[in-house]
Structure 1
Amino acid sequence: MTLRRKLLLVALCTLALPVAGWLYVRQMETLLREGQAQALTASARAMARSLVVTDAPLPPAGPVWYVQQTANPITIDGYGDDWAPLTPWSQPLDKRGKLLLAEDADWLYLFAEVRSAQRTRADADDPRALAADHLVLSLGRGELSRRYLLASAAPGLVTARPLDPPVDGLPNLITAQWQEDGGGYRVELRLPRSLKLDALGLAIYDPTNGGDPQSVQARPLVAYSPALSKELSQLALDGVQARVLAPQGWLLAQTGHLAAPATAPGDQPGWFAALVYRFLLADQVGEAELWMQDVPKLDAAEVNQASRGKPATLWRQGEARGSVVLAAAVPIESDDQVRGVLLLEQASRAVPLLANRALLGLLLTSFGVLLVAGAILLVFATRLSIRLGRLRDAAERAQLNDGRLDEPFPMTGAEDEIGDLARSFERLFEVVGGYTDYLRTLASKLSHELNTPLAIVKSSLDNLEHALQAQQAMPPDAQPYMLRARDGVARLGQLVRAMSEASRMERAIAAAEPEDVDLVAVVRGCGEAYRPLAGTRRLETELPDGPMMMHCAPELIAQALDKLFDNALSFTPEQGWLRLSLRATQHGAEIELANQGPPLPAAMQGRLFDSLVSLRDKATPGDAPHLGLGLYVVRLVAERHGGVALARNLEDGSGVAFTLQLHGMPRQRL
């Protein structure tokens, strides 16, 4: 991974700043909501106590029957068509039925539906009616109550038979409609509102289950109370919607309406801000659908919790975009009994606006800091990469030049760690360059220094041999040793002359004059000259079709090719092959001579082009030694033309290839 990418990853660590800020804004938003919830709960508690103190018409504790309001009169026919709008809020009747109660200005309507697959039928005036399927209806007003038996042997109009003695104010005759189907039966009736009933009981008797056929338990009747609504309106706060609910969730009174506080045009949150608040900042914001419906019963967990004596709060979505609604439900308690639930709802845009503004400011600041930090780190990484690249290029140039610096090492004057590294590299390459120069001149120095000792040894051997021969005193066994000594002196002389020749060759290569020539013609001529020398070996040439001009020294290139061919010929087996090729490159030309033979040792591939290095077998006594100067000359020629000499094993392992990469010689300015 590059430095720029690493520093970019480091810059991304600054993302922890907006994350921490986001968590802080969430915490702030939670604290604001908790404070507002506590304030609204305190107001709801105060209103609940006021309702109890002022003797507001609250529902009694315990189970009740809720009477819904109907806008149109209901036809008494035993069918539930007219009850369809009220059916979703039916009340359970025992375990096998449901009950619907409704009222208008004149009548109290009752509709009971009982599920029963098997029935025993009898009319209400039949002595066996109490043993058949029937309903027991109880009407109550104040302390007075009276029971009635509802039973029928067939669908149609039925008359309820009183089970109790007459009671003043309660009817003696009640008519109803009885209808049946395969799943059970339905009973529908109506009673005058003038009876002023405040309690009602209805029980289902099934002969198969047994029990008391006349037992019925009455419950108080509750309905929406305008009087309680008026009392509630005097206590409600502005901009707050207040509702009084029975412990079961039935609506008893309502006043006020939700009104979000007016805001400036610029404070109106957009859809994106609303989404940001809902999904990033707000926690547990409920849906608004349940609370917005105009229904007679509110079945919510917060209402159920308040009916058990524990206050509860809820945040939900508001009707207006970008607003939220806080709902607080508290129990209305009297004599340690929960008489109802007071529900206050208040719309607010303050919390979302404050949270959105805080988050927006934080994000803008954080991303600004992130961008600045990222840009600074990117610039720093880019500059650092460029400086390191300059060091790398300088080191590679020095490596190609055997450690010699052709120009001052870059950034040695910098005061930072890279400057220290550059100065260390410069000192290292100065030492390597000096050692390389010493090795380059070692041959000429040795040849000069060894000439005199060799001459002394040779003359001494000659004098010794003449002296012994003159006295005829040379032992026969000494003759082989004398010959070996002369052979060794001759070989040392050849070595000294070869080293002198290498020095002269370096000077000759450096002094060569360039000219514009066609490399194709040069390489073709060398290839044609090598064919007779190849003998039984096969020589192939691969040359471009057109000319390839280069400003170079053709005699040096031919000399380098001679050395390469001589080297390749010595390693190519009989009946083997050689391939000489020339191709153009982006910066010049490339000449390659490949031959079949053994691969190059891995340890020697980097030293093949050094002076006095050879892979050929050692010469036998009497043979001229091989000094390993041929490939050294090849490297000097390549460097004189601005290129390099390379050696590699062929991919298929069949042999080796030596390559001359030539860039041309610089033109001399007149």
Structure 2
Amino acid sequence: MTLRRKLLLVALCTLALPVAGWLYVRQMETLLREGQAQALTASARAMARSLVVTGAPLPPAGPDWYVQQTVNPITIDGYGDDWAPLTPWSQPLDRRGKLLLAEDADWLYLYADVRSTLRTRADAEDPGALRADHLVLSLGRAGESRRYLLASAAPGMVTARALDPAVDGLPAQLTAQWQEDGSGYRVELRVPRSLGVDSLGLSIYDANAGGDPQAVESRPLVAYSPTLSYELGQLALDGVQARVLAPAGWVLAQTGHLATPAAAPGDQPGWFAALIYRSLLANQVEDAELWTQDVPRLDVAQVRDASKGQPATLWRQGEARGSVVLAAAVPIERDGQVRGVLLLEQASRAVPLLANRALLGLLLTSFGVLLVAGAILLIFATRLSIRLGRLRDAAERAQLNDGRLDGPFPMTGAEDEIGDLARSFERLFEVVGGYTDYLRTLASKLSHELNTPLAIVKSSLDNLEHALQAEHAMPPDAQPYMLRARDGVARLGALVRAMSEASRMERAIAAAEPEDVDLVAVVRGCSEAYRPLAGTRRLDTVLPGEPMVMHCAPELIAQALDKLFDNALSFTPDGGWLRLTLRATDHGAEIELANQGPPLPAAMQGRLFDSLVSLRDKATPGDAPHLGLGLYVVRLVAERHGGVAMARNLDDGSGVAFTLQLHGMPRQRL
């Protein structure tokens, strides 16, 4: 991983700041909600106690039947078309049916839907009607009640038969509409509101299931109460909607409305702020669909909890954008019994507005801090990478084959750790450069210093030989030793001359003057001169079809080719082949001389172009030794032209190839 990426990861650690702030804002929002919920719950408890103390008309304890309000009169025909708007709030009737009750200014309507696939039919007037499928209806008034039998052998109008003695104010018989199909039957009827019916019972008798055919349970009738709504309005708080509910969730009274505070011009949250509030902050708000104001029943968990004596609160979405509604449900208890549920709802912009402001401010601040910190670290990492890159480039440029330092070392004047590193590198390369210069001049120094001792040794051998021959002939045993001594002196002399020649060649190559020449002509001329020397060996030349002009020293290139050809010729067997190739490259030219012969040893490939290194067989005594300066000259010529000299084995293993890469010599300014 690069240094820049590491510092980028360090910069990402600053993300801990917005995460910690987000947790803090969530905690703050939770505390704000809890405080507001406790305040509204306390207000609801106070209002519930006031309703009990003032004797408000609360619903009776226990199960009841809720009578919904209908705007239009309902046609009594046994079909449920007129009941469609009220159907979602039907009340369960035993386990096999549902009951709908409605009223207007004149009538109390009843609609019962019973599911029954197996039927036993009989009319209410038949003697065996109680053993057939039927309904038992009970009407109550002022503590008295009377039961009626509803049964029919066929669809149409039916007359209910009274099962109990007459009761003042209650009718002797009732008419109803009976309709049925394969899934069951439906009964619809109405009674005048002037009768003052305050309780009702309805039971289903299934002849196949058995049971008591006359049993019925009466329940009190409850409905929306304007009187209770007036009492509630006297106690309600401004900006708070209050509703009194039966334990089953039916709305008995309602007052007030949700007054969402108007937002200031700059306080209205946008869609992005509202999205952040809904998705990132502490407690999620519920959907407002179940809390519509005009529904007759609220079947929600908070109302059910309150009907069991446990207060409950809930946050839900408000009608206005960016607002929330807090709902608090508390039980209304009288004589130790839950008589109803008081529900208070209050709209608010403060909680989401404060949370949005805090969160958005935190996000903007954190983003700004993260951006600045990331930019600073990125700039620092970039500058540090550039400085380290300069050090690396300087070190690579300094790593020439002769060990010299190429130019001054950068950033040695810096006062930081990079400057200390640069100065350490500079001192190191100064030591290496001095040692390299010493090694480079060692050959010339040794050759100069060894000339006199060698001359003394040679003259001493000559004088010794003359002295021995003057007295008498040289003993046969001494003759081999004398020859060996002379051969050793000759070899030492050749080495001294080679070292002097190497120093001279280095100076000559360094002083060569470049010019613009056509490399194609230079290589072609050398190739034509080599053909007579190849003998039985085949020499192929591959040249480009167009001239290749380069600013170079042609005599040095020709000298390097001479060394390469001499080296290749000595290793190519009779009848073998040589191939001289010139090709253009992106940065100059490349000359390759390949020949058939043995491969290069792996251990010597990196040392072939050093001075005094040779792979040829050692010369026999008396022969001139091979000093290994040819490929060293090739390397010097390549470096003088800004290139390199390389050697490799051919891929097919048939021979070796020596390559001279040339980039051209710099032009001198006049």
Q: Which bracket does the TM-score occupy, shorter chain normalised?
A: over 0.9
1:536 aligns with 2:536: yes
Give the counterpart letter for 2:60 in structure 1.
Answer: P
**How far off is 1:293 after superposition?**
5.8
Give the counterpart letter for 2:135 in structure 1.
Answer: L
Other-structure match for 2:290: 290
Counterpart secondary structure, 1:400:
coil
1:26 aligns with 2:50: no
Counterpart CA distance in 2 for 1:118 and 1:406 is 109
Give the counterpart letter for 2:491 in structure 1.
Answer: R
Other-structure match for 1:198: 198
Which runs of no fewer than 5 residues in structure 1 stay unpaired?
A: none
Other-structure match for 1:660: 660
Other-structure match for 2:39: 39
Q: How does 1:172-251 map to 2 (within 5 A)?
A: 172-251=172-251
Other-structure match for 2:85: 85
Counterpart CA distance in 1 for 2:60 and 2:573 is 119
Other-structure match for 2:483: 483
Q: How does 1:466-477 map to 2 (within 5 A)?
A: 466-472=466-472, 474-477=474-477
Equivalent pair of 1:403/1:430 in contact (CA under 8 Å): no
Counterpart CA distance in 2 for 1:156 and 1:502 is 132
Equivalent pair of 1:138/1:147 in contact (CA under 8 Å): yes
Other-structure match for 1:554: 554
Counterpart CA distance in 2 for 1:401 and 1:593 is 22
Equivalent pair of 1:540/1:579 in contact (CA under 8 Å): yes
**How far off is 1:649 after superposition?**
4.0
Counterpart secondary structure, 1:338:
strand
Equivalent pair of 1:40/1:328 in contact (CA under 8 Å): yes
Other-structure match for 2:449: 449
Counterpart CA distance in 2 for 1:48 and 1:602 is 101
1:600–1:373 distance in 2 versus 1, CA, 3 Å: farther
1:347 aligns with 2:344: no
Other-structure match for 1:409: 409
Show CA shifts across 1:428-447 (max 9, x none).
Answer: 21122122212212222222
**How far off is 1:375 after superposition?**
1.6
Counterpart secondary structure, 2:621:
coil
Equivalent pair of 2:148/2:173 in contact (CA under 8 Å): no
Equivalent pair of 1:25/1:358 in contact (CA under 8 Å): yes
Q: TM-score, normalised by structure 1?
A: 0.95
Other-structure match for 2:595: 595
Equivalent pair of 2:612/2:628 in contact (CA under 8 Å): yes
Q: How does 1:356-395 map to 2 (within 5 A)?
A: 356-395=356-395
Show CA shifts across 1:443-484 (max 9, x none).
Answer: 222222222332233333333333334444744333323322
**How far off is 1:136 after superposition?**
1.1
Show CA shifts across 1:165-204 (max 9, x none).
Answer: 2222222222222222222222111111112122111111
Give the counterpart letter for 1:340 in structure 2.
Answer: G
Other-structure match for 2:69: 69
Equivalent pair of 1:148/1:162 in contact (CA under 8 Å): yes
**How far off is 1:228 after superposition?**
1.0
Counterpart secondary structure, 2:595:
strand
**How far off is 1:102 after superposition?**
0.7
Show CA shifts across 1:210-240 (max 9, x none).
Answer: 2111111111111111111111111111111
**How far off is 1:614 after superposition?**
2.2
Give the counterpart letter for 2:415 in structure 1.
Answer: E
Other-structure match for 2:330: 330
Counterpart CA distance in 1 for 2:200 and 2:487 is 143
Counterpart CA distance in 1 for 2:575 and 2:231 is 122
Farther-moved stretch of structure 1 (516-525 vs 228-237) = 516-525
Q: How does 1:629-668 map to 2 (within 5 A)?
A: 629-651=629-651, 653-668=653-668
**How far off is 1:385 after superposition?**
1.7
| Percent of pairs with identical residues | 89
Show CA shifts across 1:626-666 (max 9, x none).
Answer: 22211111122223233333334445555443333333334
Show CA shifts across 1:485-504 (max 9, x none).
Answer: 22222222222221121122
Equivalent pair of 2:550/2:664 in contact (CA under 8 Å): yes
Give the counterpart letter for 1:461 in structure 2.
Answer: L
1:84–1:664 distance in 2 versus 1, CA, 3 Å: closer
Equivalent pair of 1:458/1:489 in contact (CA under 8 Å): yes
1:182–1:518 distance in 2 versus 1, CA, 3 Å: closer
1:155 aligns with 2:122: no
**How far off is 1:344 after superposition?**
1.3
**How far off is 1:64 after superposition?**
0.9
Show CA shifts across 1:78-115 (max 9, x none).
Answer: 22222122112111111111111111111111111211
Counterpart CA distance in 2 for 1:597 and 1:230 is 118
Show CA shifts across 1:522-545 (max 9, x none).
Answer: 111112212222333333333233
Counterpart CA distance in 2 for 1:140 and 1:327 is 37
Other-structure match for 1:515: 515
Aligned residue-pair number: 670
Give the counterpart letter for 2:496 in structure 1.
Answer: V
Give the counterpart letter for 2:126 in structure 1.
Answer: D
1:663–1:215 distance in 2 versus 1, CA, 3 Å: same
Q: How does 1:124-139 map to 2 (within 5 A)?
A: 124-139=124-139
Counterpart CA distance in 2 for 1:169 and 1:436 is 132
Equivalent pair of 2:411/2:419 in contact (CA under 8 Å): yes
1:553–1:157 distance in 2 versus 1, CA, 3 Å: closer
Other-structure match for 1:567: 567
Give the counterpart letter for 2:525 in structure 1.
Answer: G
Other-structure match for 2:4: 4
Counterpart CA distance in 2 for 1:148 and 1:312 is 42
Give the counterpart letter for 1:478 in structure 2.
Answer: A
1:570–1:48 distance in 2 versus 1, CA, 3 Å: farther
1:87–1:611 distance in 2 versus 1, CA, 3 Å: same
Counterpart CA distance in 1 for 2:472 and 2:606 is 56
Counterpart secondary structure, 1:560:
helix
Other-structure match for 2:504: 504
Counterpart secondary structure, 1:79:
coil
Equivalent pair of 2:141/2:197 in contact (CA under 8 Å): yes
Other-structure match for 2:432: 432
**How far off is 1:398 after superposition?**
1.1
**How far off is 1:590 after superposition?**
3.0
Equivalent pair of 2:27/2:282 in contact (CA under 8 Å): no
Other-structure match for 1:48: 48
1:105–1:560 distance in 2 versus 1, CA, 3 Å: same
Q: How does 1:301-312 map to 2 (within 5 A)?
A: 301-312=301-312
1:575–1:66 distance in 2 versus 1, CA, 3 Å: farther
**How far off is 1:140 after superposition?**
1.3
Q: TM-score, normalised by structure 2?
A: 0.95
Counterpart secondary structure, 1:35:
helix
Give the counterpart letter for 1:383 in structure 2.
Answer: R
1:355–1:665 distance in 2 versus 1, CA, 3 Å: same
Give the counterpart letter for 1:156 in structure 2.
Answer: G
Counterpart CA distance in 1 for 2:652 and 2:84 is 92
1:166 aligns with 2:135: no
Farther-moved stretch of structure 1 (343-352 vs 509-518) = 509-518
Farther-moved stretch of structure 1 (641-650 vs 159-168) = 641-650
1:666–1:255 distance in 2 versus 1, CA, 3 Å: same
Farther-moved stretch of structure 1 (529-538 vs 342-351) = 529-538
Show CA shifts across 1:298-350 (max 9, x none).
Answer: 11112112212111111111111111111111111222221111111111111
Counterpart CA distance in 2 for 1:170 and 1:433 is 127
Farther-moved stretch of structure 1 (249-258 vs 24-33) = 24-33
Q: CA RMSD in A?
A: 2.1
Counterpart CA distance in 1 for 2:292 and 2:87 is 19
1:656–1:324 distance in 2 versus 1, CA, 3 Å: farther
1:514–1:133 distance in 2 versus 1, CA, 3 Å: closer
Counterpart secondary structure, 1:614:
coil
Counterpart secondary structure, 2:399:
helix
Q: How does 1:235-274 map to 2 (within 5 A)?
A: 235-274=235-274
